[in-house]
Amino acid sequence: MGSPRDSPSRLDLMGGGHFGPPPPPPPSPRALLRPLDATRPHLTTTHPDLATQLDTLTNPSPTPPNPD
């Protein structure tokens, strides 16, 4: 039989290691705005392009705009 050092510890089996489970990914700015959209519908009706601008800021297009 192998020594205790050869067998993975209980924490390693759970995937936690010494620092606990990996943190969840941070919420996207879009996800943070969803509750606001629900509680403040006037923001979405008066500024319909706000979501588009946010998407452009968080996900810029891979090709730069043409300077012409």
Q: What angle do CA 10, 12, 15 make, to 5 degrees?
A: 115
**CA gyration radius, the chain:** 23
Determine the pLDDT at residue 59.
66
Domain spans, the chain: 27-59
Distance CA 30, CA 37 (A): 10
Region 31-39: mean pLDDT is 60
Region 21-49: mean pLDDT is 61
- Residues 58/29, Cβ–Cβ less than 8 Å: yes
> Which has the higher per-residue pLDDT, 25 or 60?
25
Mean pLDDT for all residues in the chain = 60
Region 55-68: mean pLDDT is 62
Q: Residue 25 pLDDT > 70, yes or no?
A: yes
Distance CA 41, CA 45 (A): 6
Region 38-64: mean pLDDT is 60
